[in-house]
């Protein structure tokens, strides 16, 4: 029997290929290295930093041309990091202390990474991997180590930590999957793999050491299963599954230009969640209708200061134009919690998810908020734009938001700049408080967008990335469904539209009951659109209402999940 390793499926899908070990140890190269004088070693560092930054810049350009914008954004952050004085100054000091450039680079990086790893904030903890990745590239450049050659076989990258740059560097037609020992599903390596739909399994710890270069493996990302050296029968079984996966992809491609409409004529608009204007252009190949969530914080990240109104305007304008007349919903900066920015000088908080974040920062920082609002209003001239505020919990916040928008319009008027007077204003419903208040909030806004990632987390008091309680995270929990139904009903009662932009929107089974509740729009990562569309096109509205009635009488999320999977099986 072939050996099986059980991990966590970070990215679904079947992959068959041979192991290519990543994250190679540099001990042998370091032992053989002959350092020069301190000045010579410092010169080697400067040359290596410049070469690595140039190589990263070229990679970013190629990735953007290929439409891989999410990984381009990450590699661009690495490019800035490679030239960051906070990193390079530490390396310079270490060289003067040790007299050995590559060893000093790695030693300095290890010290910096330890600082990040000791932080409470998960986002900052995971930046340690970025520091180590960039520093290793610099050390490899000094040591003269070239990238490993890729043979004819499809490869499965494998290591305890596979650096983001390694995944980004393997062409689409050569990479089958990724295996990592570490267990994070939100690190940059997984984000890059997800942007390219590469099946990925994490969390097998140091069992990655058991998988030697050239080992034949099967990855089942749906189950988190790795099959080592499969026999002929198992290989045949998974080749058939891989063929089914490719057939489904072809089937989804045929749905691209068709509407998400039930067999009896009820339509739900399927939009895309994006992080950059280029993402809006790339979403078109999946058949999106507009953008339901432009995460504007990506415009603010990887910088040393607040982006100007003009810079933001150009970014939002491109996204609005890419929507081709469909609505582009731009979320105002959702910073804080898991996404801090150094230049905002936000003080440390014991519980940032319940602290100073999102709209709470924006309403308190005119210098931050006004340029963004004015940029969105100006972008609205080029199509249909909407402003969406995150983490709103009170009427007072909505009234203050509206006052800011009026002030932004007046300033644009005074400056003689063209802007749209028809930009919609909405809020995210992502806390129990907001959901309960929707009958009142609906009087003051143009739309609701339900952010289920936080709504589920706050409603159930569950950190979904905590392995000890993650099993409790379930968007089908009756309490969550009650809040969602209340929100959608409040919108319909007040003749405004409702949407959803959390992970639940990409669940085809959830889409059926959300449609029955009366939701107008579902926004998701673009690759998820075809699966949801196929499901909605396979049912009638009357059937969906029957399923909803049964689901709302159930007492547990597990009951709901099992019922829907059985009732909607094709």
CA trace torsion 208, 211, 212, 215 (10° rounding): -140
pLDDT confidence band for 178 (50 / 70 / 90): very high
Residue 538 has a pLDDT of 95
Q: 457, 476, 499, 493: which is closest to 554 by C-alpha? A: 476
- Other Cβ atoms closer than 10 A to 146: 7
Is pLDDT of 559 > 60? yes
d(CA 300, CA 346): 15
Closest CA to 230 of 244, 245, 243, 220: 220
Strands 291-295 and 14-21: unpaired
Domain endpoint, select from 88, 109, 143:
143
**Beta-strand pair 3-6/225-228:** antiparallel
The reply to whether 75 falls in a domain is yes
Say yes or no: 126 and 271 in one domain: no
Burial of 124 (0-12, 13-18, 19+ CB in 10 A): middle
Residue 471 CA, chain-centre distance (Å), reads: 21
Angle value at C-alpha 326, between 322 and 329, nearest 5 degrees: 85
Q: What is the DSSP letter of 336?
A: B
Which residues have CB under 8 Å from 413's CB, separation 6+? 419
Q: What is the pLDDT of residue 346?
A: 75
The percent of residues above 90 in pLDDT, for the chain, comes to 59
Establish if 157 belongs to a structural domain: no
Domain boundary among 143, 170, 198: 143
Is residue 31 assigned to a domain? yes
Helical axes 557-567 vs 478-493, angle rounded to 10°:
70
Rounded CA gap, 432 and 417, in Å?
A: 39
| Pair 524, 536: CB distance under 8 Å | no
Decide: 356 and 418 in contact? Cβ < 8 Å: no
| More confidently predicted of 400 and 334 | 400
- What's the rounded Cα separation, in Å, for the pair 509 and 251? 18
CA distance readout (Å), 133 to 84, 146, 199, 504: 14, 15, 22, 33
Count of structural domains within the chain: 2
199 within 8 A of 176, measured Cβ to Cβ: yes
Q: Who wins on pLDDT, 81 or 464?
A: 81
Residue with token string 């096109």? 537
User: CB atoms < 10 A from the CB of 495, how many?
Assistant: 7
* Spatial contact of 51 and 141, defined as CB atoms under 8 Å apart: yes
What tokens appear for 313 in the block?
């305007």
pTM here is 0.72
How close are the terminal C-alpha atoms of the chain, in Å? 32
463 domain residue, yes or no: yes
Least confident of 338-352, 422-436, 543-557: 338-352
* 165 Cα distance to chain centroid: 17
- pLDDT for residue 324: 93
pLDDT tens track for 30-54:
888 999 999 999 999 999 999 999 9
Please report the pLDDT score of residue 76 as a whole number: 84
Tokens 């490679």 map to which residue?
82
The parent domain of residue 59 ranges over 25-143
Q: What is the CATH classification number for the domain harbouring 491?
A: 3.20.20.60
82-138 pLDDT tens trace? 888 878 888 999 999 999 999 999 999 888 888 777 655 555 566 788 888 899 989
What is residue 258's DSSP assignment?
S
Residue 197's nearest CA partner among 175, 229, 225 is 175
Assess if residue 171 is contained within a domain.
no
Q: What confidence tens digit (pLDDT) does each residue in 362-408 have? A: 999 999 999 999 999 999 999 999 999 999 999 999 999 999 999 99
Query: CATH number, domain at 120?
Result: 1.10.274.10
The answer to whether position 4 is within a domain reads: no
Q: How many angstroms from the chain centroid is the CA of residue 416?
A: 37
pLDDT above 90 (res 275)? no
Task: Kindly tell me if the per-residue pLDDT of 267 is higher than 80.
Answer: yes
C-alpha 306, offset from chain centre = 22
pLDDT at 378: 98
Which of 143, 169, 190 is a domain's end point?
A: 143
To the nearest whole number, what is the mean pLDDT of the chain?
89
Beta-carbon contacts of 334 under 8 Å, excluding residues fewer than 6 positions away, are: 295, 296, 297, 357, 358, 390, 391
**pLDDT at 141 > cutoff 70:** yes
Rounded Cα distance between 286 and 269, Å, is: 13
Q: Which range has the worst mean pLDDT, 167-171, 271-275, 329-333? A: 167-171
Q: Which of 72-86, 433-447, 553-567 has the lowest mean pLDDT?
A: 72-86
More confident call, 266 vs 121: 266
Q: Which residue has the tokens 């936080």?
A: 454
The least confident of 118-132, 318-332, 461-475, 554-568 is 118-132
Question: Does an H or E element contain 387, and which?
Answer: strand 384-389
Maximum CA pair distance of the chain? 79
Task: Give the residues across from 178 on adjacent strands.
Answer: 157, 200
Please indicate, yes or no, if residue 299 is contained in any of the structural domains.
yes
- pLDDT band at residue 344, thresholds of 50, 70 and 90? confident
Alpha-carbon gap, residue 170 to 370, rounded angstroms = 42
Q: Are residues 518 and 385 in the same domain?
A: yes
CB atoms within 10 A of CB 561: 19
pLDDT at 70: 67
- Per-residue pLDDT tens over the stretch 460-514: 998 876 767 878 889 999 999 999 999 999 999 999 999 999 889 989 999 999 9
Please report whether residue 357 resides in a domain. yes
Q: Identify the pLDDT of residue 317.
A: 95
Matching residue, tokens 């910096």: 112
- Whether 428 and 558 share a structural domain: yes
C-alpha to C-alpha distance for 79 and 65, rounded to whole angstroms? 17
Supply the pLDDT for residue 248. 85
**CA 274 – CA 127 distance, rounded (Å):** 22
Catalytic residues: 188, 501
* Residue count of the chain: 570
How big is the CA angle at 397 (ends 394 and 399), to the nearest 5 degrees?
A: 110
Shared domain for 139 and 269, answered yes or no, is no
CA gyration radius, the chain: 25
């Amino acid at each position: 029997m072939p050996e099986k390793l059980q991990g966590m499926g970070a990215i679904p899908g079947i992959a068959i290929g041979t192991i290519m070990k990543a994250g190679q140890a540099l001990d042998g190269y370091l032992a053989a290295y002959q350092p020069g004088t301190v000045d010579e070693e410092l010169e080697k560092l400067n040359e290596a930093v410049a070469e690595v930054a140039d190589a990263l810049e070229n990679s970013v350009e190629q990735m953007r041309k290929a439409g891989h914008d999410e990984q381009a954004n990450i590699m661009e952050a690495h490019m800035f990091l490679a030239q960051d004085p906070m990193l390079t100054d530490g390396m310079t000091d270490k060289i003067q202390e040790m007299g050995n450039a590559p060893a000093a680079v790695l030693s300095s990086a290890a010290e910096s990474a330890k600082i990040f790893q000791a932080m409470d904030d998960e986002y900052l903890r995971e930046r340690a991997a970025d520091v180590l990745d960039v520093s290793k590239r610099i050390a490899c450049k000094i040591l003269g180590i070239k990238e490993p050659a890729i043979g004819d076989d499809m490869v499965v990258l494998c290591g305890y930590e596979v650096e983001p740059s390694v995944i980004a560097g393997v062409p689409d037609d050569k990479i089958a999957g990724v295996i990592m020992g570490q267990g994070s599903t939100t690190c940059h390596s997984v984000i890059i793999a997800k942007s390219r739909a590469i099946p990925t399994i994490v969390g097998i710890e140091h069992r990655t050491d058991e998988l030697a270069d050239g080992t034949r493996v099967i990855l089942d990302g749906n189950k988190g299963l790795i099959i080592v050296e499969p026999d002929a029968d198992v290989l045949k079984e998974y080749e058939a599954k891989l063929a089914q996966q490719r057939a489904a992809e072809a089937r989804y491609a045929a749905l691209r230009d068709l509407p998400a409409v039930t067999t009896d004529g009820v339509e739900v608009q399927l939009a895309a969640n994006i992080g950059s204007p280029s993402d809006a252009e790339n979403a078109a190949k999946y058949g999106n209708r507009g953008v339901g969530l432009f995460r504007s914080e990506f415009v603010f990240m990887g910088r040393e200061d607040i982006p100007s109104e003009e810079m933001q305007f150009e970014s939002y304008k491109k996204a609005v134009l890419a929507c081709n007349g469909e609505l582009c919903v731009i979320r105002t900066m959702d910073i804080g919690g898991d996404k801090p920015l150094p230049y905002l000088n936000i003080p440390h908080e014991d519980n940032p998810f319940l602290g100073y974040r999102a709209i709470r920062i924006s309403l308190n920082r005119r210098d931050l908020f006004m340029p963004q609002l004015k940029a969105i209003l100006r972008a609205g001239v080029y199509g249909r734009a909407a402003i969406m505020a995150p983490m709103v919990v009170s009427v007072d916040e909505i009234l203050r938001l509206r006052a800011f928008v009026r002030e932004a319009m007046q300033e644009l008027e005074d400056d003689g700049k063209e802007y749209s007077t028809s930009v919609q204003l909405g809020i995210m419903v992502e806390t129990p408080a907001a959901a309960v208040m929707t009958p009142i909030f609906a009087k003051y806004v143009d739309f609701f967008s339900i952010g289920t990632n936080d709504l589920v987390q706050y409603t159930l008091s569950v950190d979904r990335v905590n392995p000890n309680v993650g099993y409790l995270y379930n968007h089908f929990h009756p309490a969550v469904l009650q809040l969602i139904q209340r929100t959608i009903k409040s919108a319909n009662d007040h003749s405004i539209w409702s949407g959803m932009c959390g992970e639940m929107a990409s669940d085809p089974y959830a889409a059926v009951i959300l449609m029955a509740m009366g939701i107008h729009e579902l926004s998701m990562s673009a690759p998820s659109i075809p699966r949801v569309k196929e499901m909605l096109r396979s049912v009638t509205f009357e059937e969906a209402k029957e399923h909803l009635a049964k689901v709302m009488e159930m007492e547990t999320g597990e009951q709901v999940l099992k019922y829907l999977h059985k009732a909607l099986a094709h």
